[in-house]
Amino acid sequence: MSAEEYRFRLFVAGDEPNSCLAEQNLRALCLTHLPNRHSIEVIDVLQEFEVALLAQIMVAPAVVMVAPRLVTLFGALTDQAKVLAALGLKGVDHQA
Amino acid sequence: MASKEWIIKPEDRPDDVTARLERAENILRTLERGEADAVLSRDGPRLVHSVEAVERERQIKLALEELVNTRALELIAARESRDVAEAATLAKSDFLSSMSHELRTPLNAILGFAQLLESGPTPLTPTQKHDIDQILGAGWYLLGLVNEILDLAQIDAGKIVLSWESVSLADVMLDCQCLVEPLAQRRGIAMRFPRFDIPYFVKGDRIRVKQTLINLLHNAIKYNKPEGSVSVECALATPDTIRIGVRDAGAGLTAEQLAQLFQPFNRLGRNAGTDEGTGIGLVVAKRLVELMGGTIGADSTVGVGSTFWIELGLTTAPPSIVREAAHAVPVQPPQLDGTPRNTVLYVEDNAANLDLVEELIKRRPDLSLLTATDGNLGIELARTCLPVVILMDINLPGMNGLQAMKALRADPTTERIPVIAVSAFAMPVDIKRALELGFFSYLTKPIKLNEFMAALDVAIKFSETKSPSVATKP
């Protein structure tokens, strides 16, 4: 079975503290659990807020997993266990 | 105040409401935990840590909380309201049924015994006649009031059943004319009724159309000037509808009074005297007319008079028109020809009702009466004495009349005896159920002497024409 591509859109508010944290946490999580199977698009809501509105993001930071299924999370993503559970990533094979 | 426009739109999630609630909750938590840097609105992003934005954030939080709570309440309410509505309808129905019964039972005693006094063997003195007229008048009035109130309640509960007929306006008008003449004469009011050169037929329930017109006519007579007049005018409103107007020469109504017209117990401050009328007639009339798909209204000029009108749909004549012949059934004992007395069994627990029927049967030399105060005894007596007809009260202690009826039907010795239901339960649904179960006929309390005697005679005749050797299939 070929590996699924996990696609994320991360909405940040410039380099505000929570947004930086959120980016850090997301990248770390992806490297650990989804190496070479992920892509992260970063959107700065302070620059491109229409894009955010279209995506129905009302609060930043927020991450939207677009594929393989649609999941939206808000906040700094500090509780990794919770994030994994929400994304449905528990027990995913870590190997490529 | 944060607008609600941009809060939570449907996404491509299947479970819309739950998902939306969850999402709202997540946003709230994020804001509360201080993990939000910016909030977005149609006007643009606001950084949370700027003073302005803190206030905005608070507003968003409030709006989201409100949304979450509202939606949660909506879900709960929707689930509950269905249950509540069903329970309420059931409760209303039971209440109506038992109120109907409770009110009619004592009225049966009042009217029954007063009728006995009136038509008794010894002639009455003028004073006695006058006194009994008072009792009867008040009794019938009370019955009318009870019926109107129950009608209203029934309509409110959505339980009225109308029959759809082609009603001949000419016939109804003639009936109404006869019924209101006495009142008009007493009040010195001249009545003018239309002449129908071509027959008009309206769509509706005959009895209800009559009821409505009589209500309007009574009002026109009551709220009139001395030596005044009432004219009934009919004209086509559209090619398919006819307007029947009742015009009076009374004091007229102000615009304010017109607006309050069709409300219960609101006589607009006017005293119509102690004559007929209970103040809820117009409300019933409005509901009935609307149930028949028509409209009702009033026009008025102060100092000149008022016209109350109804508009009903026109229809073609029914296939065959059967005229109602109002016969007065005389209360006389049938010819005595030496035949042995027939036995009537009356199953009833109420002493006053038993007394009444005892007196009634005393006037029938051809009949003798057996009584039982409960269903079981009644069945026993039926089996051993084989009466020619059984009168069964429905509301008995222990085994009720319907159950007793079933038992009688199930027993080959008693299955052919006609059983007449006698009951203060007068709701159409009760009558229908009883007739479906096999009751021969249904008498509602308060008992009318003539109807009672006629029903007995029909049942006895039915009994006599069936020979025991013929097996009747249920």
List, as one string, the DSSP characters of B402-444: HHHHHHHHHSTTTTTS-EEEEES---HHHHHHHHHHT-SEEEE
Query: Mean pLDDT, chain B, as a whole number?
Result: 78
Q: What is the pLDDT of residues B314-348, one digit of tens each?
A: 887 766 544 333 333 333 344 444 556 788 999 99
Both structure tokens of B445: 């309390």
Give, as one character, the DSSP assignment of residue A68.
S
**Cα-based angle B246, B249, B251 (whole degrees, multiple of 5):** 115
Whether the per-residue pLDDT at B7 is higher than 70: the answer is no
Token pair for B160: 């009225």
Dump pLDDT digits (tens) for B61-80.
776 777 766 666 666 666 67
Asked if A7 and A67 touch (Cβ cutoff 8 Å), the reply is yes
Nearest by CB to residue B30, choosing from A52, A53, A75, is A75
Q: Looking at per-residue confidence, does B49 or A79 come out higher?
A: A79
8 A C-beta contact, residue B380 and residue B404: no
A44-95 pLDDT, tens digit each = 999 988 888 888 788 899 999 998 888 899 999 998 898 998 888 875 544 4
- DSSP string of B205-266, one letter each residue: -HHHHHHHHHHHHHHHHHSS-TT-EEEEEEEEEETTEEEEEEEE-S----HHHHHTTTSTT-
- The beta-carbon neighbor of B40 closest among A49, A73, A76 is A49
Asked if the model's pLDDT at residue B18 lies above 70, the reply is: no
- List the single residue in B with minimal CA-CA distance to A75: B35
**B232-263, pLDDT tens digit by residue?**
999 998 888 999 999 999 988 888 888 878 76
Taking residues B395-421, what's their average pLDDT? 88
* Cα nearest neighbour of B13 on chain A: A70
Residue B122, classed as helix, strand or coil, is coil
**Of A15-29, B118-132, B133-147, highest mean pLDDT:** A15-29
For B222-235, what is each residue's pLDDT tens digit? 889 888 999 999 99
pLDDT range class, residue B6, cuts 50, 70, 90: very low
**Are the Cβ atoms of B40 and A57 closer than 8 angstroms?**
yes
> Does the distance separating the beta carbons of B38 and A59 come in below 8 Å?
yes
B397 falls in which pLDDT band (50, 70, 90)? confident
Instruction: Please tell me which residue of chain B has the smallest CA distance to A76.
Output: B35
Is the CB of B37 less than 8 angstroms away from the CB of A73? no
**Residue A40 pLDDT:** 93
Q: Are B64 and B2 in contact (CB under 8 A)?
A: no
Q: Please judge whether A73 and B26 are an interchain contact, meaning their C-beta atoms are less than 8 angstroms apart.
A: yes
Proportion of chain B above pLDDT 90, given as a percent: 16
Asked if A73 has any chain B CB less than 8 Å from its own CB, the reply is yes
pLDDT, tens digit (0-9, with 9 covering 90-100), for A5-58: 899 999 999 999 999 999 999 999 999 998 989 999 999 999 988 888 888 788
Q: Of chain B residues 326-355, which have a CB less than 8 A from chain A?
A: none
Q: What is the pTM of this model?
A: 0.39
| Predicted confidence band of residue B467 (pLDDT cuts 50, 70, 90) | very low
C-alpha closest to that of B43 among B28, B56, B32, B58: B56
Closest partner residue to B45 (CB to CB) among A13, A72, A74 is A13
Omega cis (within 30) before B14: no
Higher pLDDT, B17 or B91: B91
At B167-221, the pLDDT tens digits run: 889 888 988 888 888 888 888 999 999 888 888 899 888 878 888 898 899 889 9
Tokens of A28: 């770390």
Q: What was the pLDDT predicted at B50?
A: 61
Residue among A46, A74, A75 whose CB faces B45 most closely: A46
